[in-house]
Structure 1
Amino acid sequence: MIDATANPDQLAERIRELGQELGFQQVGISAAHIGEHEERLNDWLDAGYQGEMQWMESHGSKRTRPAELVPGTCRVISVRMDYLPADTAMAKRLKQSEHAYISRYALGRDYHKLMRRRLQQLAERIQSLIGPFGYRAFVDSAPVMERALATRAGLGWIGKNTMLINPRAGSYFFLGELFTDLPLPVDAPQEKEHCGSCTACLETCPTGAFVDAHVLDARRCISYLTIELKGAIPPELRPLMGNRVFGCDDCQMVCPWNKFAKPTGETDFSPRHQLDQATLTSLFLWDEDTFLRNTEGSPIRRIGHERWLRNLAVGLGNATTSIPVIEALRARAEHSSEMVREHVQWALQRHGEAP
């Protein structure tokens, strides 16, 4: 047993070792506050950049003050888990208009359950060392400013594309947290950014979603449009989306720091159902049962079949005109969903076809 009070440094080091044994590539510890990130969030919300994501506004200061969300919290243990699949050739898909581009994080199984389970195991192993202690695990599942906390824990800095960037791993990773009442020593923060004069991420965004460095207007972001937006995609943005049907990685692909990103060893993050090779027409033919079956345990399932078809219709509207593309769109022209029909009609018109 370790005396958490008498040997906090020893305990912190052992926690890092346990985290790596459980498959986390990095573990950092921070105090339970996010500093100037609270003001930045409030300014961003005041500008309305969150769009329909009302959950970003809810819970008041609980989002920015961990001890209000979980009383008694004095430290946050932040963990990093890399997810980059090996050999997906996804960058090539953006130039193949007949193929569907799906964000790399969504090609495999949903990360939430896997990471939550590992965090629970981490907490249980800590308990085996010191006895019962107060904690609560989070994986993108509550009002937690995970990137801000991760910077305070030394896991990286928030880049101009608003992603957390690690100097040895780039940005293709998930984050999770353990809020705890253990008075552990904290790591040195890495809040100073190392992006320099590079603006590649800002310039490459297909829809011009970056208002400025570190400021993303989610209402124009393809990830928001394909995942968070519940209604129709604004017509003026559709041609800019290309074949991106679930998420977008453009601002990460061009980031020089991602040359250090390493393929993950987690088999759960490997592509499923050949989603890294699928054509738009093949995915558009999935009926709802097929969609539910093929997206079981996948982050894609959260958008539902209707929005899945909406996104694919936009992709098909941007694809090179061909008989398979036209036939696929016509097959959905009388779909029961008004939203799907409207996007199919737009796509057909893009190909010079009467709806």
Structure 2
Amino acid sequence: MDEVKKYLLELGASKVGYADVEGLASEFVDLPNGISIVLKLPKKAMQFVDDEEYEAYWKCFHAQIDKLTEIALKGEEYIKNEGYDAFALTMTRNECDMKKLLSILPYKTIATKSGLGWIGRSALFITPEYGSAVALGAILTDMPLEFGTPITDSECEDCTNCQDACPVNAINPQKWNDRLKREDIIDIEACSEYIIDQYKAGLGCTKCMSECRLTQEYLREI
């Protein structure tokens, strides 16, 4: 295992992968390589969803985001100390448009190009180990990296759990591949409108995450 990946895993990352992102990060910095950082959500977070304890869920989720930020910033410092340029793509640097539910450079793009997982019917990132119960971060760099093999097609097979669970029927039957646009698999306007209303009410909507078959398998692991 290379030293950067080893370091990030020691800091607490669940999975780390490398991707060619040349041309995708120009809005930030001219750095061609991406390091995808996956952090699994604690099983108790999904239990909070099942119990509709959304305040506790969001507290847990944002604690994981804070941890991701710390890992990414320490990774940036580590790479710079090795003599290369690096830019931790934290949430504040990669501002999300809540109406579009989209970051400037989607973490999911770097993660799929790294070969760490794929996009589910719900448009959430899916890993074989944790389903969609994950949070994502990234680092951009010019350090030479051995890229993973990009995943370009959904591995959700015939599962429709997330689609069946969506309270506003925003998820389309079409399975993801990297040739499709996001609107081909999800009605993002219907999704974002419902989510924003839920947030305003102090609630949440993570049914597509908790009902994912692979998320359920992760939760059943002893």
What is the TM-score with the length of structure 2 in the denominator? Answer: 0.77
Q: In 2, Cα distance between the equivalents of 1:106 and 1:68?
A: 32
Q: In 2, Cα distance between the equivalents of 1:260 and 1:69?
A: 38
> Which structure would you say has the larger Rg?
1
Deviation at 1:88, TM superposition (A): 6.5
Matched, 1:179 2:151: no
Deviations 1:280-307 (A, max 9, x none): xxxxxxxxxxxxxxxxxxxxxxxxxxxx
Shift of the 18–223 alpha-carbon distance from structure 1 to 2, 3 Å rule, reads same
Deviations 1:255-275 (A, max 9, x none): 111134359xxxxxxxxxxxx
Q: Secondary structure at the match of 2:5?
A: helix
Deviations 1:103-146 (A, max 9, x none): 87513262443322221112223344x23x21111133321111
User: Structure 1 or 2: larger helix share?
Assistant: 1
Contact 1:102–1:246 (CA<8 Å) still a contact in 2? yes
Aligned to 1:166: 127
Matched pairs, number: 198
Shift of the 137–262 alpha-carbon distance from structure 1 to 2, 3 Å rule, reads farther
Compute the RMSD of aligned alpha carbons: 2.6
Q: In 1, Cα distance between the equivalents of 2:154 and 2:112?
A: 10
Q: In 2, Cα distance between the equivalents of 1:253 and 1:113?
A: 21
Deviation at 1:254, TM superposition (A): 1.9
Aligned to 1:218: 188
Amino acid at match of 1:139: T
Aligned to 1:208: 169
Contact 1:84–1:261 (CA<8 Å) still a contact in 2? no
Q: In 2, Cα distance between the equivalents of 1:81 and 1:176?
A: 8
Which of 82, 86, 91 is 1:140 aligned to? 91
Q: In 1, Cα distance between the equivalents of 2:114 and 2:87?
A: 17
Unaligned runs of 5+ in 1: 1-9, 34-64, 94-99, 231-243, 264-355
Aligned to 1:151: 112
Matched, 1:106 2:58: yes
Aligned to 2:38: 80
Q: How does 1:258-269 map to 2 (within 5 A)?
A: 258-261=215-218
Shift of the 204–125 alpha-carbon distance from structure 1 to 2, 3 Å rule, reads same
Contact 1:103–1:249 (CA<8 Å) still a contact in 2? no
Aligned to 1:247: 204
Contact 1:84–1:262 (CA<8 Å) still a contact in 2? no
Contact 1:135–1:179 (CA<8 Å) still a contact in 2? yes
Shift of the 246–216 alpha-carbon distance from structure 1 to 2, 3 Å rule, reads farther
Deviation at 1:200, TM superposition (A): 1.9
What is the TM-score with the length of structure 1 in the denominator? Answer: 0.50
Aligned to 1:36: none
Deviations 1:165-186 (A, max 9, x none): 1111211111111111123221
Q: Secondary structure at the match of 1:210?
A: coil
Shift of the 148–210 alpha-carbon distance from structure 1 to 2, 3 Å rule, reads same
Aligned to 1:191: 152
Unaligned runs of 5+ in 2: 95-103, 177-184
Shift of the 139–262 alpha-carbon distance from structure 1 to 2, 3 Å rule, reads farther
Give the fraction of aligned pairs with identical amino acids, expressed as a percent: 23
Shift of the 150–87 alpha-carbon distance from structure 1 to 2, 3 Å rule, reads closer
Matched, 1:21 2:10: yes
